[in-house]
Amino acid sequence: MATHTYEQAIHVVESLSPEDKKRLLEELTARTARDTKPHEEMHSIMEFRGLGKEIWEGIDAQEYVRQERASWNG
């Protein structure tokens, strides 16, 4: 099987009809989805625990919510 460069592939794609470009895009998308291992993309929500907690230091949660709700009414 011949090895092609990215630039060669782009040149070939440019010669395709719009319909064939769409078909190619759909095929490449499907193949990429199959080739991507889900566990490499998945993260646990627990990884975010404590993220940004320093932003809320010294802020009373109830007072913050009260102020936010008051701002909704103009």
The CA distance from 5 to 9, in Å, is 6
**17 or 43, greater pLDDT:** 17
Residue 74 has pLDDT above 90, yes or no: no
Sign (positive/negative) of CA torsion 26, 43, 39, 6? Answer: positive
What is the rounded average pLDDT for all residues in the chain? 87
For the chain, percent helix, then strand, then coil, each to nearest 5?
70, 0, 30
Look at residue 39 in the predicted model and tell me its pLDDT: 60
Predicted TM-score (pTM) of this structure: 0.43
pLDDT-based confidence at residue 31 (cuts at 50, 70, 90):
confident
Domain spans in the chain, listed from the N-terminal domain onward: 6-72
Largest CA distance in the chain: 67
Residue 74, CA atoms < 13 Å, CB-side half-sphere: 0
Round the CA-based radius of gyration of the chain to a whole number and report it: 25
